[in-house]
Chain A
C-alpha cells in the first residue's frame, strides 16, 4: 500500500524530477516536448484498464470503456505526433 507520508514523498520527488528535466530546455523543443509529456500522461491507460477490468455495473463498464478509448487515444496519438515531429529534427541534422 502507498499511503500517507510515502505518498507525499513520491509526489514531492516526482515533482522535482519533472521540474529539473524541463528547466533548461531550448525553445525549439517546446512543441515536441509538450507533445511528448502529453504522451507520458497517456499512462492513464493502465488506470483506465484497471477501472474497466474491475467494473461490475453496466454504468461502470460503459464509463470504463469510454475511459480506455480516450486513454488509448492519448497514448497512441501523443506518441505518433511526437515521433513525427522529432523525426524531422533528425532528418535536418543528417542533411548537414
Chain B
C-alpha cells in the first residue's frame, strides 16, 4: 500500500468515527448541534482525501470538482432558502439524491462490465436496485409533499404490479451475474424496471403516511450505499451506509408506532381507503368570537396549547409564542402538548416551535401531559384534528381507533381554531368539536391567533 493509499484509508477511518460520534451526539437535544458539525468534518476529510485517489487524471479531477460544485452549490442554495415548514420534502429530495448516486455507482460498474466476481456483481446489482427505488420513490414523495401531486393513484392489483416490477428487476439483475452478450441492454432494462418500481410503490401512499416512507427510503439509501461500498472496497461507505441503514430502520419503526400504523399497512394499503362516515354525531359545533375566547384564556390559571398541521400551514408559530408570552405576563401557566405525529413528520412541530423561540421546557409530549388536561381551564387546539379525536379511545370501528391521542376533551374548556368545518386527514368527524365544553373559532391559524392576541391585550 502506497503512502497516498494509506492516508486515504486513515481519512476514511476518521470519517467513519466522526460520523458515529456525530450521530450519537445528534440523538440528544443538549449536544445535537455539535453532532452535525462533527459529522460534517468527517465528510470534508473523506472528500478531500478522495481527490488524492491513485491514478486519477486531471481531466477526471476537474469533472469531479465541477460535479461537486454544481450539486453542492444547488443543494446549499435550496437548503438555506427552504422554509422550516417545507423541511420534510427537502429531506425526501436530498435523500433521493443519495439513492440516485448509489444507483449511478452501480450503473457505472455494471455498464463497464469487467470481471468483478460473483459476490461483488451481486452486491452491485442489489445496491443498484435499492438505490434506484429509493431515488425515484423519494422524488415522488417530494412531489407529493410539495403539493405537485395531490391525489394518491391507486388501482386494483397495484401491489401485484409492484411485486412483478421488483421481481422482474431482480431477475434481470441476476442475468447480469453471467456474461451475456446483450449486457448493455440488460443493464438498461434493469434500471428502468427498478426506477419504475420506486414510482409505483410510492404513488398510492397518502400524505399522513409519507414521513414513514421517507424514513424508510432513508434507511434503504443507507443500505444501497453500504452495498456499493463493498463493490468499491470503500470502508467509509460500508460503515456509514450500514449505520444509517439500521438507524433508519429503527427510526421508521418508531415513527410507524407513533402513528399506530404497521409498516405493512403504510406500504400496502392507503390511509382512509374504506369510506368511513364515523356514524352520526350528537350535538352541534358551537362558534365563539375571538374576543370571548381571549378573555377566557386571559383569566384562566392554566392553558395548554395543542398545535397541529394547521399551525404549520398558517406559519402561525411566531404568533402563538407571542400569545404565550402575553398570557404568561398575566400569570397564566401555559404549556404546549405535542402529539408525536403533529406537523408533517414526528418531531417536525418541535422544530417549528423552536424556530419561533419557544423554550422546550414548555413543550411536553403525550405521555408527560395527558394526565394534566383534567386540571386545565382552557385547551387551545390550533389546526389539529385527528390527534385530539376522542373516538380513537371509544369507537372500535373507527380507522384511528387505538391511536394514542391527546386528552383535550377532558379539559374544562376547549377552543378549536380551524379554517372550516371540514374533516381531518383521516376523513372522519371529530367528536371533540361537538362536545358541550368545546367552542369553534373559525379562521386561518395566523389570523385567528392575532385576534386572540388583541383580545388578551384588551382584557
Q: Which residue of A lies closest to B354 (CB)?
A: A88
Within the complex, the shortest CB–CB distance from B156 to chain A, in Å, comes to 33
Within residues 35 to 55 of chain A, which ones have a CB less than 8 A from any CB in chain B?
35-55
In chain A, what residue has the closest Cβ to B67?
A: A68
Q: How distant is the Cα of A94 from the Cα of B230 in the complex, in angstroms?
A: 44
Asked if A42 meets B36 with Cβ closer than 8 Å, knowing A47-B229, A57-B112, the reply is no
Q: B71: which of A59, A71, A79 is its contact (CB, 8 Å)? A: A71
The answer to whether B250 and A33 have CB atoms under 8 Å apart is: no
A80 closest partner in B (C-beta): B79
Bound Cα distance from A48 to B72, whole angstroms: 14
- Write out the residue numbers on chain B whose beta carbons fall within 8 Å of the beta carbon of A89: 29, 32-33, 351, 354, 360
- Residues on B with C-beta less than 8 A from A87 are 33
Residue on A nearest B217 in the bound complex, by CB: A38
Residue of A nearest to B321 (CB): A92
Bound CA–CA A26/B31 (angstroms): 13
CA distance A95 to B73 in the complex (A): 33
The CA-CA distance from A69 to B68 in the complex, in Å, is: 6
Is A19 part of the binding interface, using a Cβ–Cβ cutoff of 8 Å? Answer: yes
Give Cα A49–Cα B119 distance, bound, in whole angstroms.
Answer: 23
Q: Is the CB of A48 within 8 A of B101?
A: yes
Please indicate the chain A residues that have their CB under 8 angstroms from the CB of B66 in the complex.
65
- Closest Cβ–Cβ distance, residue B83 to chain A (whole Å): 10
B248 touches A (CB below 8 Å): yes
CB contacts (< 8 Å) of B87 on chain A: these are 31, 35, 81, 85
A53-67 Cβ-contact flags toward B at 8 Å (1 or 0): 111110111011111
Cβ of B97 under 8 Å from chain A: yes
Which chain A positions have C-beta within 8 A of B351?
31-32, 85, 88-89
**B88 interface residue, CB < 8 Å from A?**
yes
Contacts of B391 in A (CB 8 A): none
Q: Smallest CB–CB gap between A94 and chain B, Å?
A: 9
Contact A43 B225 (CB under 8 A): yes
Are B228 and A44 in touch, CB under 8 angstroms? yes
Q: Given A17-B20, A21-B23, A36-B35, is A79 in contact with B228 using a C-beta cutoff of 8 Å?
A: no
Given A81-B90, A85-B351, A92-B357, residue A41 in contact with residue B244 (CB < 8 A): yes
What is the CA–CA distance of A41 and B131 in the complex, to the nearest angstrom? 12
Tell whether, in the assembled complex, residue B91 and residue A81 are in contact, meaning their CB atoms are under 8 Å apart. Answer: yes
Judged by a CB distance under 8 angstroms, whether B221 is at the interface is yes
- Tell whether A5 is near chain B: CB-to-CB under 8 Å: no
A25 → chain B closest CB, angstroms? 4
Question: Inside 8 A of B338's CB, which chain A residues have their CB?
Answer: 27-28
Query: Which residues 316-364 of B have a CB within 8 angstroms of A?
Result: 338, 340, 343, 345-348, 350-351, 353-355, 357-361, 363
Q: With A22-B250, A86-B32 as known contacts, state yes or no: A67 contacts B104, CB within 8 Å.
A: yes
Residue B39 lies at the interface, judged by CB distance under 8 Å to chain A:
yes
Which one of B232-240, B283-291, B369-377, B450-458 contacts A? B232-240
Q: Which residues of B contact A81 (CB under 8 A)?
A: 79, 82, 87, 90-91, 94
Residues of chain A contacted by B232 (CB below 8 angstroms): 47, 50-51
Chain A contacts for B226, CB-based, 8 A: 11, 14
B172 within 8 A of partner (CB): no
Given A50-B232, A86-B33, A91-B357, A32–B347 Cβ distance below 8 Å?
A: yes
Nearest-CB residue, chain A, relative to B23: A21
Given contacts A39-B36, A41-B98, whether A86 and B26 have CB atoms under 8 Å apart is: yes
- Interface contact B47-A45, CB-CB below 8 Å: yes
Partner of B101, one of A7, A57, A70: A70
Asked whether B250 lies within 8 Å of A69 as measured between CB atoms, the reply is no
Taking the closest CB of chain A, its distance from the CB of B9, in whole angstroms, is 11
Which residues of the partner chain B approach A85 to less than 8 Å between Cβ atoms? 84, 87, 351, 354
In the complex, A42→B47 CA distance in Å?
10
| Residues from chain A with Cβ under 8 Å of B389 in the complex | none
Q: List 24 A-B contacts (CB under 8 A).
A: A22-B27, A23-B250, A26-B29, A28-B350, A28-B365, A30-B255, A31-B88, A36-B26, A36-B39, A37-B218, A37-B247, A40-B243, A41-B218, A47-B229, A49-B47, A49-B53, A50-B50, A65-B63, A71-B97, A72-B75, A74-B95, A80-B79, A82-B26, A93-B359
**Chain A interface (Cβ within 8 Å of chain B)?**
1-2, 7, 10-11, 14-19, 21-57, 59-61, 63-93, 95-96
Q: Which residues of B are interface residues toward A (Cβ below 8 A)?
A: 12, 15, 19-20, 22-24, 26-30, 32-33, 35-37, 39-40, 43, 46-47, 49-51, 53, 55-56, 60-61, 63-64, 66-76, 78-80, 82, 84, 87-88, 90-91, 93-95, 97-98, 100-105, 107-109, 111-112, 135, 214-215, 218, 221-222, 225-226, 228-230, 232-251, 254-255, 258, 338, 340, 343, 345-348, 350-351, 353-355, 357-361, 363, 365
Closest 9 CB pairs of A and B: A67-B104, A80-B79, A68-B67, A72-B71, A77-B75, A18-B246, A30-B347, A71-B101, A14-B242
Apart from A27-B365, A38-B218, what are 19 other A-B pairs with CB-CB below 8 Å?
Answer: A7-B238, A21-B24, A26-B28, A28-B365, A31-B87, A38-B221, A40-B23, A41-B244, A44-B241, A49-B51, A51-B104, A52-B64, A53-B61, A55-B60, A64-B63, A64-B104, A72-B75, A74-B95, A83-B37
